[in-house]
Amino acid sequence: MPDGGYRERVDLDVVEERPYRFRVEPRDGMRVPGVVFASRELLRDAEQSLRQVAGVATLPGIVGASYAMPDIHWGYGFPIGGVAATDVAAGGVVSPGGVGFDISCGVRLLAADCDRRALRPALAAVMDGLGRAVPRGAGPGGVWRLGGTAELERVLRGGSRYAVEQGHGEERDLLRCEDGGAVADADVDQVGPRARERGLGQVGSLGSANHFLEVQVVTEVYDTAAAEAFGIAAGQVCVMIHCGSRGLGHQICSDHVRAMDRAMARYGIEVPDRQLACTPVDSPEGRAYVGAMAAAANYARANRQLLSHAARRVFRREAGVRLGLVYDVSHNLAKIETHSVDGEPRRLCVHRKGATRAFPPGHPDLPADLRDAGQPVLIPGTMGTASYVLAGVPGGDAFHSTCHGAGRVMSRHQAARTVTGKELRARLEGAGIAVRPLSMRGLAEEVPEAYKDVAAVVEASEGAGLCRKVARLEPLGVVKG
């Protein structure tokens, strides 16, 4: 793997254009400016990430600006929170670093047909059941044992749709999934043998780090009409699932970064950081990555579908409660979308890395019952803190994108030095939050103080005109790797 990272350069010229919007003036090969939506407070110590915004602005075919969301922080090549669109017909590139290692990492929210008071007597049994039913942590293990590579290929092509066809969900679920539960352009031939091997045993598993399954309660509704359209109300119990494509997506990213790093020179592409490896979307290497990435996207969706199904079985058995899907959306993905550029419709490759698509009300790709409210945007908070449901807004900037969550401000090592897992568990249980961790070390690494304040991220996103708040949720129970 190329070992990149920006070298120190002269300071960037960053101008506050208006509240929650900063502009990075073009220089040093930048083809477009940088535009960062954030507060001054959220940009504290963001120098490295701003340099990454500037680096992304040098990519061939980039249009508009190199954008970053309020939860911007340092990532591989692109900043996490980065959004960049390239013009496919004008030699625009696709870059695996613009998607990230956890391809199609995302969030799914289910709403229970009960409120927190009704669940209370069964909560401990539900949490115990979830603790047994939800595979998690590093390495293999998943709720679904795939028959072999042929069935893996059906998952890679069919995503949530295939999982539902096999009995792991309801037909209605697919109406509430981005892209109906599967993207169409998966090319399984571009998924290498190691990725396949790693993917075989992990369908239906959370993974580790900031991934979680939480039982939550809606503690505040900001937009009653949108909340009603989404099927949530104050006091209602929900289940939020945050996970991605596990080792399969990680391996695909590694494989295709390597291939592009080797091929780039042939296309005459130079980038200021090897981690920005890319080739034109319309090239053999570009098409190969896009096809493999789409396969990983479907894998991640099937993963969330299977975990939903596992949670449903536990809720039905332990509490007689039914879970309906609110929405499922990714925050690490590149998609070919049509957007207006200088008044002309253009086919763009929109990279969203730690950024969520946020279609406005009336968008034709939204299901009819969500058309008036706009697309639900699901923001997972840090363990033990609040999560949010947002909605897309008219005129949303950055190709209809908004934030994805709280960014880390403390390293795992640093975090684990501030508290033991045992202490943190006691603190959470004391606050009325049931915890079912796999590892105490892993729990300590996710101490809330290791992250930015998700409420500030959401405020800045709304203040920047990228989305609006619909509801706030707080955890009743956490299942973690």
Partner DNA sequence: ATGTTC
204 is in an annotated binding site: no
Q: Is 214 annotated as a binding residue?
A: yes
CA-only gyration radius of the chain, Å: 21
- In this complex, which beta carbon is closest to DNA, that of residue 23 or of residue 194? 194
- With contact defined as beta carbons under 8 Å apart, do 211 and 243 qualify? yes
- Beta carbons within 10 angstroms of residue 344's beta carbon: 7
> String of b and e for 215-231 (b: at least 16 CB within 10 Å)?
bbbbeebbbeebbebbb
Q: State the number of CA atoms in the 13 A half-sphere of 118 facing the CB.
A: 13
Q: Is the dihedral of CA 131, 382, 299, 441 positive or negative?
A: negative
In the complex with DNA, the residue whose CB is nearer, 259 or 391, is 259
Q: How far is the CB of 210 from DNA (least distance, A)?
A: 3
Q: What is the nearest approach in angstroms of DNA to the Cβ of residue 196?
A: 10
User: Closest approach of Cβ 97 to DNA, in Å?
Assistant: 11
What is the closest distance, in whole angstroms, from the C-beta atom of residue 324 to DNA in the complex? 26
| Closer residue to DNA (CB): 74 or 399 | 74
- Confirm or deny that 383 is annotated as ligand binding: yes
- Shortest gap between Cβ of 167 and DNA (angstroms)? 25
If the CB atoms of residues 91 and 139 are measured against DNA, the closer one turns out to be: 139
Q: Let me know the angle formed at the C-alpha of 12 by 11 and 17, rounded to the nearest 5 degrees.
A: 140
210 appears as a binding residue in the annotation:
yes
**Is 168 known to sit in a ligand binding site?**
no
Q: Which is nearer to DNA, 412 or 427 (CB)?
A: 412
Q: Is 407 annotated as a binding residue?
A: yes
Distance (Å, whole) CA 110 – CA 130: 15
List residues near DNA by CB under 7 A: 1, 101-102, 105, 137-139, 194, 197-198, 202, 207-211, 243-244, 246-247, 250-251, 408, 412, 481
Give the residue with the Cβ less far from DNA, 86 or 95: 95
CA 399 to CA 168: how far, in whole Å? 33
The one catalytic residue in 256, 339, 404, 413 is 404
* CA distances (Å), origin 446, targets 101, 211, 253, 449: 19, 10, 25, 8
Minimum distance from residue 91 beta carbon to DNA (Å): 29
Q: Is 404 an annotated catalytic residue?
A: yes
Q: Are 294 and 153 in contact (CB under 8 A)?
A: no
- DSSP codes joined into one string, 282-319: SSHHHHHHHHHHHHHHHHHHHHHHHHHHHHHHHHHHHH
242 is in an annotated binding site: yes
Q: How far apart are CA 176 and CA 183, in angstroms?
A: 14
> Contact 388/379 with Cβ under 8 angstroms?
yes
Binding residues for Mn(2+): 102, 211, 242, 331
Binding residues for GMP: 210-214, 331-332, 380-383, 387, 404-407, 480
Binding residues: 102, 210-214, 242, 331-332, 380-383, 387, 404-407, 480
Q: Which residues are catalytic?
A: 404
